[in-house]
Structure 1
Amino acid sequence: MRLPAAVALTLAFAIGTVATAPAATRAGAPAPQCLDARAMDEVRQSSDRTLAVVQNDGRRFRVDLQEDCPAAAADAQASVLAREGWVCGTGNEYVRSGQRLCPVAAVAEIDTKTYAELALASHRRHGDVATLDAVEVRAEKRRGFGGSVQYCLNPRYMRGWNEDGKGLVVEVSPQRSGGNRYYRVELAYSCPELFDATTIELRSGMGISAVCGNPGDTVVAVPEMREGQGIARSGGVLSRISCPIASVYPIDK
């Protein structure tokens, strides 16, 4: 899959004179937390010293740099330098951007929520739009989907939902959502009206078909009308309660 120039890092796998080992003889990861630079699918930069990476196997990582490297994700020619492509935060690992070598300070595997927070921060910082699957991206762009399945969902493909006290769990079409079936939609504050809601809508505050936790993104709930209760009306229609969305992220498989 080709990454967009705004967020892509072209991969390189040698330091100094250390040659890249053939695939058949490549050593395994030195430690469980190591990032495989050969398997990066999506790279985002949430701050001058922080990168968020998704591997093609779905694992997510935070990469911290020792110094500011603000142009790393914006440089289409940037590269990752590490012995045999393993980035572990143990030294002699760099992100190269132009003539600069930015040392890697630490690498840690993160969950979907943390990745979504970093990716959304990157989106707000750079205004980039991530690509999805090569075939599905084209279809989604025609429908106006702006965002990544790593931190957004498209309400068009919502199949069901439930409220579990922590917010919403939304079921979507996996085929249209990068293989993800369930998303957590966290709210900015408690919204007890969801308990009685018979119908909900997910609405983007930015006028796009993606709900990502951007300002203005809301869950609109229609409470169930119970016997003995009056119908709350505004302009002759049943009242709707809007609950601000704080974050959206896929639930780990």
Structure 2
Amino acid sequence: MRTTAPLSLLLLLAAAPLAASTRSPAPAPNCLDARSMSEARQSGERTLAVMQADGRRFRVDLAQDCPAATVDAQATVLAREGWVCGHGNEYLRSGQQLCPVAAVAVIDAREYAQLALASQRRDDGIATLDAVEVKTEKRRGFGGSTSYCFNPRYMRGWSEDGKGLVVEVSPQRSGGHRYYRVELAYSCPELFNAHTIDLRSGMGISAICGNPGDSVVAKAEMRPGEGIARGGGVSRVTCPIASVYPIEQ
């Protein structure tokens, strides 16, 4: 996994900085602690996906378009004591523009992965916020974040459960995650009888994220008399991947 530039969203408190011991608790369970943001991505001009250092994931909706924030590396968050809750008087500031925060919601790994992937797919010419992974070493050949991608090189095993695949990987090489859900674009019953699989990236990178062209190739042994050749061998079926995200088991 690659390490990127410093976090694009910096914290600027609306009030004078307070010592950690005097900081008020979060006003509500859905509040984002801007002081512990570890990854931030912008999937739309009004939508941010943010991850805290403790692994909690949030969707932050803005009350207006804020396209400048996607290119301003010094964009800042204005929130009293660093708590971003969507309760008003909270802003994303980019240059001279103040974009009010309209809502904050806790989201699961699946929704976060969808928003993060959308940030990659934006093709309107607007740059996206740089993502930041903290406490990770720099590695070559991996083009995505472990929050919604994994490197098939570190796959240890897999299983099919009717909803797609559950892939086991090396946690040390996958941001601490051991299992990923791989959702398919449509049903792929061939996986039930597959004895091996290949995971292929449609982007030509060593990461499976649900990008266009990402796929699972199911390989099943054919008995003599089956198939066109009627001589046995291996049957291969390609199943498109729709989404990837870490799960707990």
Q: Normalised by the size of structure 1, how large is the TM-score?
A: 0.89
| Secondary structure, counterpart of 1:71 in structure 2 | helix
Q: Distance in 1 between matches of 2:210 and 2:174?
A: 17
What is the CA-CA distance between 1:76 and the residue it aligns to? 1.1
Q: Are residues 1:4 and 2:5 paired?
A: yes
Q: SS of the residue aligned with 1:72?
A: helix
From the superposition, tell whether residues 229 and 60 of structure 1 become closer, same or farther in structure 2 (CA, over 3 Å): farther
Q: CA-to-partner distance for each residue in 1:3-24, whole Å, 9 max, x for gaps?
A: 536x72112112xxx2122111
TM superposition shift of 1:135: 4.3
Corresponding residue number in structure 2 for 1:32: 29
Q: CA 1:193 to 1:129, structure 2 compared with 1: closer, same or farther past 3 Å? A: farther
* AA partner of residue 104 (structure 1): V
Task: Please give the alpha-carbon distance, in whole angstroms, between the structure 2 residues aligned to 1:35 and 1:232.
Answer: 58
> 1:28 corresponds to which letter in structure 2?
P
Secondary structure at the residue paired with 1:12? strand
1:100 aligns with 2:89: no
Answer yes or no: is 1:57 the counterpart of 2:54.
Answer: yes
- Residue of structure 1 in register with 2:237 after alignment: 241
The question of whether the paired residues in 1 share the 8 Å contact of 2:68 and 2:94 is answered with yes
Q: 2:106 aligns to what?
A: 109
Aligned CA distance change for structure 1 residues 233 and 50 (closer, same or farther; 3 Å): farther
Q: What are the equivalent positions in structure 2 for 1:64-213 lying under 5 Å apart?
A: 64-125=61-122, 126=127, 130-136=131-137, 138-139=138-139, 142=140, 144-213=141-210
Asked if structure 2 preserves the Cα contact closer than 8 Å seen for 1:94 and 1:104, the reply is yes
Q: Which amino acid aligns with 1:43?
A: A
Check the 8 A contact 1:20/1:83 in 2, yes or no. Answer: no
Call closer, same or farther: CA 1:94–1:204 in 2, change over 3 Å: same
Tell whether the 8 Å contact from 1:233 to 1:239 is kept in structure 2 after alignment.
Answer: no
Matched position secondary structure for 2:86 = coil
**CA–CA separation in structure 2 for the residues paired with 1:216 and 1:59:** 29
Tell me the CA shift for residue 72 of structure 1: 1.5
User: CA separation of 1:232/1:22 partners in 2, compared to 1, >3 Å: closer, same or farther?
Assistant: farther
Query: Shift in Å at residue 224 of structure 1?
Result: 3.7
Distance 1:207-1:114 versus aligned 2 partners, 3 A rule? same
Gaps of 5+ in 1: none
Q: How does 1:11-26 map to 2 (within 5 A)?
A: 11-14=11-14, 18-26=15-23
CA separation of 1:131/1:83 partners in 2, compared to 1, >3 Å: closer, same or farther? closer
Q: Which has the higher contact order (CA 8 A, sep 6+)?
A: 2
Identity of aligned residues (%): 69
| Aligned partners of 2:8 and 2:131 also within 8 Å | no
The 3 A distance-change label for structure 1 pair 117 and 12 is: same
Q: Matched residues in 1 for 2:23 and 2:178: separation?
A: 34
- Amino acid paired to 2:239: C
Whether contact under 8 Å (2:136, 2:175) holds in the other structure is: no
CA distance in 1, matches of 2:129, 2:69: 14
CA distance 1:229–1:84, change in 2 (3 Å): farther
Task: Tell me if the contact between 1:232 and 1:239 (Cα under 8 Å) persists in the aligned partners.
Answer: no
Aligned residues: 242
